[in-house]
Amino acid sequence: MSDVYKALADGTRRTILDELLERDRQTLFELCGRLATRHGLTSSRQAVSQHLEVLQAAGLVIAVKDGRYKFHSIDTAPLRAIIDRWPYPEKAGTTMNEPKAYGTLETIDGRWALRFERSLGYPIERVWQAVSTPSELERFFPGAADWTPVAGEIIDAGGMSVEVTQVEAPTLLTWIFAGQPQGFELTQEGDECRLVFTTTIDDLPAAQTATGWEIYLSRLGPHLAGGHLSEEEAHGPWAEIHELYAERLGVDPEPGRRWAARNLPVSGA
């Protein structure tokens, strides 16, 4: 999130965003011309290019190459993470990040599985990059996956075997982890990308396992927005989310409560 603050601190960069909001998909040449004629900014192409690099690093600008040219567009999604950080003025003590339970329990090939669905305000290519690139995946997922990835690839993940089973960029990535099929399925829907994550759980405790995955998937949004939600911060609402899942899935909450008492820090300790 600090990258977003840094990007917005500069007046020229804010003007660039205003210009891209006024007219989408501009090349560097077009942008320099409009900055000069409409805003009186006579920065060199190199200077504007450097400003664009800062904005891209913050996730506020997306650059797409089409033939010989690179077109730039504004992406306001990182600003949502800033908005979500503070409470509603009219509801002190509540935030936009109230605990949620998005997962559902279903069967896949006769095995119990959890399914999570999220709508993300990013192009499908950006979300694919996040879920398939090892250096990005480890920023929000339970662990790193040092894969290419290609179908048939087998890697070691913390002493456990991972076999990549399907890769269809940028829509499908599946694998088997410790005997459990898991995977991401992405679909572009208008300006958003629909992400579906599924994992078989067999005889694992449903509410506890669903809560764990909910926690880790909640870190993807801040990552895409240019920030980082630490594991400690993400686990803050674990107990509340677990109770939601226990009620939603109709299972006994006691196993998860006992696990939390043994493994999670006591709030306020």
Answer whether residue 85 shows pLDDT above 70.
Answer: no
- 90 within a domain of the structure (yes/no): no
**Which range of residues forms the domain containing residue 233?**
104-263
- 92 within a domain of the structure (yes/no): no
Q: What is the mean pLDDT of residues 31-47?
A: 91
- 112 within a domain of the structure (yes/no): yes
> Do 43 and 140 sit in the same domain of this protein?
no
Q: DSSP letters of 196-241?
A: EEEEE-TTS-HHHHHHHHHHHHTTHHHHHTT----HHHHTTTHHHH
CB 18 within 8 A of CB 38: no
pLDDT at position 115 is 94
pLDDT at position 89 is 41
pLDDT at position 67 is 80
> Do 43 and 115 sit in the same domain of this protein?
no
The CATH number covering residue 199 comes to 3.30.530.20
**Which residue, among 167, 133, 138, has the nearest Cα to 152 in the 3D structure?**
167
**Which residue, among 120, 124, 22, has the nearest Cα to 74 in the 3D structure?**
22
Report how far residue 32's alpha carbon sits from residue 49's, in angstroms, rounded to the nearest whole number: 9
- 93 within a domain of the structure (yes/no): no
**Angle at alpha carbon of residue 164, lines to 121 and 65, rounded to 5°:** 40
Boundary (domain end) residue, out of 75, 91, 123: 75
Name which residue leads in pLDDT, 79 or 60.
Answer: 60
Answer whether residue 95 shows pLDDT above 70.
Answer: no
Element (H, E) at 187: strand 180-189
> Do 125 and 22 sit in the same domain of this protein?
no
Answer whether residue 268 shows pLDDT above 60.
Answer: no
Q: What confidence tier does 84 reach under pLDDT thresholds 50, 70, 90? A: low
> Do 57 and 137 sit in the same domain of this protein?
no
> Do 126 and 223 sit in the same domain of this protein?
yes
> Do 161 and 213 sit in the same domain of this protein?
yes
The CATH number covering residue 16 comes to 1.10.10.10
- 30 within a domain of the structure (yes/no): yes
> Do 192 and 65 sit in the same domain of this protein?
no
> Do 68 and 114 sit in the same domain of this protein?
no
> Do 224 and 109 sit in the same domain of this protein?
yes
Q: What confidence tier does 46 reach under pLDDT thresholds 50, 70, 90? A: very high
Report how far residue 80's alpha carbon sits from residue 89's, in angstroms, rounded to the nearest whole number: 16
> Do 207 and 149 sit in the same domain of this protein?
yes
- 160-168 and 172-177: which strand pairing? antiparallel
- 269 within a domain of the structure (yes/no): no
CB 244 within 8 A of CB 104: no
Backbone angles phi, psi at 87, to 5 degrees: -70, 160
Q: What is the mean pLDDT of residues 86-102?
A: 49
Q: What confidence tier does 87 reach under pLDDT thresholds 50, 70, 90? A: very low
Per cent of the chain over pLDDT 70 is 90
> Do 177 and 222 sit in the same domain of this protein?
yes
122: CB partners within 8 A, 6+ apart? 75, 77, 192, 193, 224
User: How many C-beta atoms surround the C-beta of residue 211 within 10 A?
Assistant: 28
Report how far residue 56's alpha carbon sits from residue 202's, in angstroms, rounded to the nearest whole number: 42
Q: What is the mean pLDDT of residues 245-253?
A: 92
Per the document, the length of the chain is 269
pLDDT at position 93 is 34
Structural domain total, the chain: 2
Report how far residue 152's alpha carbon sits from residue 99's, in angstroms, rounded to the nearest whole number: 37
Q: What is the mean pLDDT of residues 153-182?
A: 95
pTM of the model: 0.64
pLDDT at position 94 is 32
- 89 within a domain of the structure (yes/no): no
CB 133 within 8 A of CB 144: no
- 236 within a domain of the structure (yes/no): yes
The token duo for 123 is 């192009």
> Do 160 and 229 sit in the same domain of this protein?
yes
pLDDT at position 19 is 92
Give 172-206 pLDDT, tens digit per residue.
999 999 899 999 999 998 878 999 999 999 888 99
Boundary (domain end) residue, out of 38, 55, 75: 75
pLDDT at position 170 is 98
- Range from 56-70, 172-186, 219-233 that averages highest in pLDDT: 172-186
* Mean pLDDT over the full length of the chain: 87
CB 142 within 8 A of CB 218: no
Report how far residue 6's alpha carbon sits from residue 262's, in angstroms, rounded to the nearest whole number: 40
Give 107-151 pLDDT, tens digit per residue.
999 999 999 998 888 999 999 999 999 999 999 999 889 999 999
